[in-house]
Structure 1
Amino acid sequence: MTALASTGFLRIGSSDLEYRMIGPAPDDAPTIVMLHEGLGSTGLWGDFPDQLQAATDARVFVYSRAGYGASTPVTLPRPLDYMHIEALDILPKLLDQIGFRRGILLGHSDGASIAAIYAGGVQDHRVRGVAMIAPHFVVEDVSVTSIREIRRAYETSGLKSKLSRWHGDVDNAFYGWNGAWLDPKFRSWDISEYLAYIRVPVAILQGADDEYGTMRQIEIAREECYCPVDVTIVPDAGHSPHREAPQAALDAISEFALRILHVHEGSQGRAA
């Protein structure tokens, strides 16, 4: 297999997905695969991937799903099962293509939901743990209210201009996500059944003031998961604690990654 460059594009199906890779090759270290939020991209993670790599010595792989960042746009409207498609069709192909051998999935918001679907729907022995930042397992009223409000902000304020920094086709990114969540049929979206089939440790990082979800999401994880679930509530943080309280988020996620990857690899190294 040809070694990947540190940045570039992966051809998955009919889409070219931009990616960024930090750290050693997969032969030398486990990999943390980062799955962005519903309005995220490779770039919007900022320097958090670099900090995570430095804290764990793992390889960190970040990419933009189709419709985001510099990746190929998608046809709108997105299907309401778009997260299932990402988890069960796209992600397996991506992991194989990047030479994923062992590691953890780290997802934020939509990305956390995709990680949960993958971990519960694909029994992949290479995945040793799943870390989720502000995950959604069901649709809550507060989520719909906030998503409706952000649509107004996108169409009437400077939000579109801000987001255009991170997306080549900002309307494609925004309306692909926002349109699905505001579709009345999406209110029945529920992925909690996948949690019972996750067979690896789970860590959940939740902002105490998350405007897109309540502690009900944490309760569902504890009710449904048979695997260990570590929960970290970050005070004075909302939906993006890795941006609003970066040190607390880095500490929680890197500790989980080091512990899980160390246990499973049986090494005295930090992240072997």
Structure 2
Amino acid sequence: MSLAPSGFLNLGAQNLEYRMIGPVPEHAPTIVMLHEGLGSAALWGDFPDRLQAATGAGVFVYSRAGYGASTAVKLPRPLDYMHVEALEVLPKLLEWIDFRRGLLVGHSDGASIAAIYAGGVQDHRVLGLALIAPHFIVEDVSVASIAAIKTAYETTDLRSKLARWHKDIDTAFYGWNGAWLDPKFRNWDISEYLTYIRVPVAILQGVNDEYGTIRQVEIAREECYCPVDVMEIANAGHSPHREAPETTLDAISEFANAVLRDEGFRAA
């Protein structure tokens, strides 16, 4: 099946919006991008297009259910929602797009989903992971910042700013925010999956990340047996690809190109 440049893919009860930038998986490696907890396909901006130009690989972005223009979800989200995305939804999505080889690039929740997938499924087609501001455990700073953004959402114009990216902004926001602020979520810990990752990992961490500390990086270094390259990005917080786009693009494209060169792929 040939992927159109944009549209919706059907995974049973879910219709997920997507963009396919550059060559389809049949013709080149594919970089699959997994958005943050309040993200969507569109919220990546032009970063996927620039990543495609820098690597020559195809770049696939999509909105998970409950985000962007994708199918709505019922609230509250289950506290294992990232496990569900990684172990149940993502395998079906990769089959749907005819994924053959490439990388996963994830931001925040998306980075955690990528790590769970790589460690839990161990898909030989995935050649590397680029994780932007990943979470492997819940930290106090994460909970404090997520509580603060809830207040901002309910008392400022943040809701209207986010609404341009989601057809149902309250579902998108409270589905994410409610799970992270549930007291039971403090026990969420995916570090065990890191032990089983068998491909190179690049971690990009903003020095001023308000949602996580360098402890997340330390956990990856402690648990992973695979190579882990870390870049701490100055003058960036939780979203380096928006706050320091050139540095972030250079780091991810350099990592992707090195991994793909090892597989015999040359950028166009």
TM-score w.r.t. length of structure 2: 0.99
Instruction: Supply the distance in 2 between the matched residues of 1:96 and 1:261 (Cα, whole angstroms).
Output: 20
Task: Provide the aligned C-alpha RMSD in A.
Answer: 0.7
Classify the secondary structure of the residue corresponding to 2:165. coil
1:224 partner letter: E
1:198 partner letter: I
1:119 partner letter: A
Instruction: Supply the distance in 2 between the matched residues of 1:192 and 1:119 (Cα, whole angstroms).
Output: 12
Instruction: Supply the distance in 2 between the matched residues of 1:149 and 1:46 (Cα, whole angstroms).
Output: 25
Task: Determine the structure 2 residue equivalent to 1:204.
Answer: 203
2:79 partner letter: L
In the TM superposition, residue 12 of structure 1 has moved relative to its aligned partner by 1.1
Task: Determine the structure 1 residue equivalent to 2:153.
Answer: 154
Whether 1:65 aligns to 2:64 is: yes
Instruction: Supply the distance in 2 between the matched residues of 1:190 and 1:235 (Cα, whole angstroms).
Output: 27
Matches within 5 A, 1:7-86: 7-86=6-85
Structure 1 gap ranges (5+): none
Instruction: Supply the distance in 2 between the matched residues of 1:136 and 1:14 (Cα, whole angstroms).
Output: 28
Task: Determine the structure 2 residue equivalent to 1:134.
Answer: 133
1:122-177 per-position Cα deviation (integer Å, ceiling 9, x unaligned): 02110000110000000000000000000000000000000000000000000000
Whether 1:266 aligns to 2:260 is: no
1:31 partner letter: T
Instruction: Supply the distance in 2 between the matched residues of 1:43 and 1:214 (Cα, whole angstroms).
Output: 27
1:31-67 per-position Cα deviation (integer Å, ceiling 9, x unaligned): 0000000000000000000000000000000000000
Instruction: Supply the distance in 1 between the matched residues of 2:72 and 2:162 (Cα, whole angstroms).
Output: 15
Instruction: Supply the distance in 2 between the matched residues of 1:243 and 1:111 (Cα, whole angstroms).
Output: 16
In the TM superposition, residue 76 of structure 1 has moved relative to its aligned partner by 0.1
In the TM superposition, residue 266 of structure 1 has moved relative to its aligned partner by 2.4
Task: Determine the structure 2 residue equivalent to 1:143.
Answer: 142
Matches within 5 A, 1:166-205: 166-205=165-204
Instruction: Supply the distance in 2 between the matched residues of 1:149 and 1:255 (Cα, whole angstroms).
Output: 35
Whether 1:248 aligns to 2:247 is: yes
Whether 1:106 aligns to 2:108 is: no
Instruction: Supply the distance in 1 between the matched residues of 2:157 and 2:24 (Cα, whole angstroms).
Output: 40
Instruction: Supply the distance in 2 between the matched residues of 1:65 and 1:27 (Cα, whole angstroms).
Output: 23
Instruction: Supply the distance in 1 between the matched residues of 2:78 and 2:244 (Cα, whole angstroms).
Output: 33
1:58-116 per-position Cα deviation (integer Å, ceiling 9, x unaligned): 00000000000000110000000000000000000000000100000000000000000
Instruction: Supply the distance in 2 between the matched residues of 1:87 and 1:218 (Cα, whole angstroms).
Output: 20
In the TM superposition, residue 13 of structure 1 has moved relative to its aligned partner by 2.5
In the TM superposition, residue 25 of structure 1 has moved relative to its aligned partner by 1.9
Instruction: Supply the distance in 2 between the matched residues of 1:8 and 1:200 (Cα, whole angstroms).
Output: 31
1:241 partner letter: P
Classify the secondary structure of the residue corresponding to 1:78. coil
Instruction: Supply the distance in 1 between the matched residues of 2:136 and 2:113 (Cα, whole angstroms).
Output: 10
TM-score w.r.t. length of structure 1: 0.98
Instruction: Supply the distance in 1 between the matched residues of 2:190 and 2:177 (Cα, whole angstroms).
Output: 19
Classify the secondary structure of the residue corresponding to 2:136. coil
Moved beyond 6 Å, runs of 4+: none
Classify the secondary structure of the residue corresponding to 2:112. helix
Classify the secondary structure of the residue corresponding to 1:221. helix
Q: Identify the range of structure 1 (236-245 vs 4-13) with the bigger mean alpha-carbon deviation.
A: 4-13
Structure 2 gap ranges (5+): none
1:214 partner letter: T
In the TM superposition, residue 270 of structure 1 has moved relative to its aligned partner by 2.7
Instruction: Supply the distance in 2 between the matched residues of 1:266 and 1:39 (Cα, whole angstroms).
Output: 36
Whether 1:237 aligns to 2:236 is: yes
